[in-house]
Structure 1
Amino acid sequence: MRFVEKDELYPLLFDPIYVDVVWGGNLLKEHLKRQTPERESPIGESWEISDREGAVSVVSNGPMKGATIRDLIVHYEKALVGNVFTGGRFPLLVKLIDAGKRLSLQVHPDEYACAKLKDNAEPKTEMWYVISAKQGAKIFAGLKSTCTQRRFIDSMNSTDIENCLQNFNSVPGDAFFISAGRVHAIGGGNLLLEIQQNSNTTYRISDWGRLGSDGKPRALHIDKALECINFTDRTSPRITGVSSFSDHNRKFPIINRCPVFRIDDLRLVERWPDSTDGNSFHLITAINQQITISRYDLSVKVEIGSTCMIPASFGDYSIEVPEGKETTVIRTTL
């Protein structure tokens, strides 16, 4: 591996990091045709871009193949991440969530709760985009307007807790904004793209009576969760997806007023010209078709479900898509 000059930076692909969990599913294999490793528990997460201790993404293409994302950030800094970068780890974590069973009911802290809880807590806001869903799959996110704080607390140890939650049928193309402080659970049968702050702080409220891989109940974090839950937040987290088809390219903002990330749903039927302006990298995720990132004599193929990082200093590029089909691409920036 060698570092290239800054003006030679190119679109980067990374090896996925697979995580086995008690609730893992089979849609990574069935829908995305991934060759996932055999583990004692099923694979439930694929960390597509990660800069966490013990889970650092490794470049899989080009002259810098084998370098870690940490190596690149230390070496290139703002040329890779963008002018808003002030140091530290890569600011986002990109995952695929393959839920064979329902995940725990949980909540993440905001900055205020982190300061109060300490304990190395990190704020975490995230977005889910439904790539595929089995019949009957659901998303649970946010409190119902009819659920009081007292009822929620009294129901935490019973099955009635589900009646406190907004629930939605999972529809491919729909997205969900899970702000810090919003209770949530992913239902079984979902394959989601998750874009989140680079944080691994999660407080479980309920695990639905399930046992962990060791045969014992997994730990709950009730006191810490109650410090994080925003009981005044009763808004719907769902951003309804595009249902119509068009013979021209379209861009639909999913998240455009969040200080953590901006996310667009691109519906493409032909070449899409784009450019990084130096302020932020672009993360380009292929949802339903293979795409190609190109510029002049350079091209990088991005498989379905994979994410490509366009360095902030890269400038003009194009997304090439198959002819005669509408291709869905998720673009994420800071």
Structure 2
Amino acid sequence: MSAHGTDLYPLRLSVTARPLVFGGHAIARRLGKKGIPDWSIAETWECSDVTGAVSVVTGGPLAGRSLRQVVADHPEALMGAGWSGRCFPVLTKFIDAAGALPVHLHADDETARRLEGQPNGKTEAWHILDAAPGATALCGVKDGVTADRLRAALEAQDFDAVLRRLPVRAGDTVYVPGGTLHSFGPDTLVYEIEQTSDIQQHAMRWNMEDGSPVGDAEFGSHLDLLMQQVDLGAGPDATPGLRIAVGDGAERVFLCAGPYFALERLRAGTPEPLRHTFATAQVLSNVGAPVRVRTGAWSEELGRAETLLLPAACGEVEITGPADVLFGYLPDLDRDVRGPLLGAGCPLPLIDSLGASADARAAGTRED
């Protein structure tokens, strides 16, 4: 029993839908998500503890309680033994890039504290759910581009002159450390996992909320801050993830994993249940047909593009097949990622290429 007399259970959370200018209708029409407005939607924030957009529990004894309050009241039952923190550390979203996102970056931790007065920055990863043939993403600065050349190209809005353009397709994942200039779209549907933050600097002459123009003075101020935060050495690539067979017709794919978050995709092609054990909170998002989710005595259906937050205290979950689901979480890298993958015969450098090595390189660059 937790400190406030309520055993934690799988939490359904309120969703924030954002109608930004690059959005469309794919989250509702392609993924099948219900309960969102019937107009152009760019993002749905599935599990958020970002100030101003904090998710609220929508069912059970904790209904009406904010995610931040649940963290404060039940830190170890939610996050695992020994955990403490002021907010839930992981943010997840569905993103419909019907149009191209603005070119932008998010500060890393050190820069966010030094320049923005924020407790942390925002490293993120994109898992591509669907993409048109030939879809691409801008991600990182080309080799040899100097700060002066980058600024001149951003002023001219000549992004391809200085930024790396990557082909992306369904199933790819791109791990994007803080400080990396990036954009993706058009015609790209993404599940995004990231640090809990909405910190960002844009390189566009228009506002993503409504498309209105950004004046010269404001644009110059944005570029001043962006140039103080950009990592000229960042060069992420798209990866297919690392697969482990977990039964007949079932697989567990480690899509990305670093110190801030990990993301896995579990698929089962038969009615045989998927079973997943865990020691830290899991953000479970369904990217397939409706499934039945069981943990302990709790059992409910999880519909298309719906999300559950599974507290650490649950410990295990069973999902009826066929199933196609995502698990996002704050990992103990040795226990949750390296252990299972090393046991399956994956070499450590390949495992760390899912994200840990990218963050180590970024930290080294900042320390030099």
Fold conserved between structures, TM > 0.5 = yes
Distance 1:317 1:4, change over 3 A: farther
Instruction: Specify which of 94, 97, 111 is matched with residue 96 of structure 1.
Output: 94
Instruction: Specify which of 202, 207, 213 is matched with residue 216 of structure 1.
Output: 213
Structure 2 distance, partners of 1:205, 1:254, is 29
Please state how far the C-alpha of 1:283 moved relative to its aligned partner: 1.5
Is the Cα–Cα contact under 8 Å of residues 290 and 321 in structure 1 kept in the other structure? no
Superposition pairs of residues 36-55 of structure 1, within 5 angstroms: 36-38=36-38, 42-55=40-53
Distance 1:292 1:166, change over 3 A: farther
SS at the partner of 1:273?
strand
SS at the partner of 1:177?
strand
- Letter matched to residue 276 of structure 1: F
Please state how far the C-alpha of 1:222 moved relative to its aligned partner: 0.9
Normalising by the residue count of structure 2, what TM-score does the alignment of the two structures yield?
A: 0.78
SS at the partner of 2:112?
helix
Normalising by the residue count of structure 1, what TM-score does the alignment of the two structures yield?
A: 0.85
Pair 1:31 & 2:33 matched: no
Is the Cα–Cα contact under 8 Å of residues 244 and 252 in structure 2 kept in the other structure? no
Please state how far the C-alpha of 1:243 moved relative to its aligned partner: 10
**Partner in structure 1 of residue 273 of structure 2:** 271
Please state how far the C-alpha of 1:31 moved relative to its aligned partner: 0.7
Structure 2 distance, partners of 1:116, 1:274, is 40
Pair 1:255 & 2:252 matched: no
Superposition pairs of residues 48-127 of structure 1, within 5 angstroms: 48-120=46-118, 122-127=120-125
Structure 1 distance, partners of 2:287, 2:243, is 15
Pair 1:188 & 2:190 matched: no
Q: Deviation per CA, 1:257-293: give whole Å up to 9, x if none.
A: x11112222232331222232xx11111212222222
Is the Cα–Cα contact under 8 Å of residues 276 and 313 in structure 1 kept in the other structure? no
Structure 1 stretch displaced more, 297-306 or 46-55: 297-306
Instruction: Specify which of 314, 327, 331 is matched with residue 331 of structure 1.
Output: 327
Pair 1:144 & 2:145 matched: no
Is the Cα–Cα contact under 8 Å of residues 290 and 301 in structure 1 kept in the other structure? yes
Structure 1 distance, partners of 2:88, 2:244, is 36
Is the Cα–Cα contact under 8 Å of residues 294 and 319 in structure 1 kept in the other structure? yes
Segments of 5+ residues of structure 2 without an aligned counterpart are: 331-368
Counting matched residue pairs gives 320
Please state how far the C-alpha of 1:70 moved relative to its aligned partner: 2.2
SS at the partner of 1:226?
helix
Superposition pairs of residues 279-298 of structure 1, within 5 angstroms: 280-298=280-298
**Partner in structure 1 of residue 231 of structure 2:** 230
Aligned-pair identity in percent equals: 25
Distance 1:211 1:80, change over 3 A: closer
Is the Cα–Cα contact under 8 Å of residues 211 and 217 in structure 1 kept in the other structure? no
- The structure where helix makes up a greater share of residues is 2
SS at the partner of 1:112?
helix
**Partner in structure 2 of residue 306 of structure 1:** 306
Structure 1 stretch displaced more, 27-36 or 93-102: 27-36
Structure 1 distance, partners of 2:240, 2:13, is 30
Please state how far the C-alpha of 1:56 moved relative to its aligned partner: 1.8
Is the Cα–Cα contact under 8 Å of residues 273 and 319 in structure 1 kept in the other structure? yes
Structure 1 distance, partners of 2:207, 2:69, is 40
Please state how far the C-alpha of 1:126 moved relative to its aligned partner: 0.6
Segments of 5+ residues of structure 1 without an aligned counterpart are: none
SS at the partner of 1:332?
strand
- Letter matched to residue 281 of structure 1: A
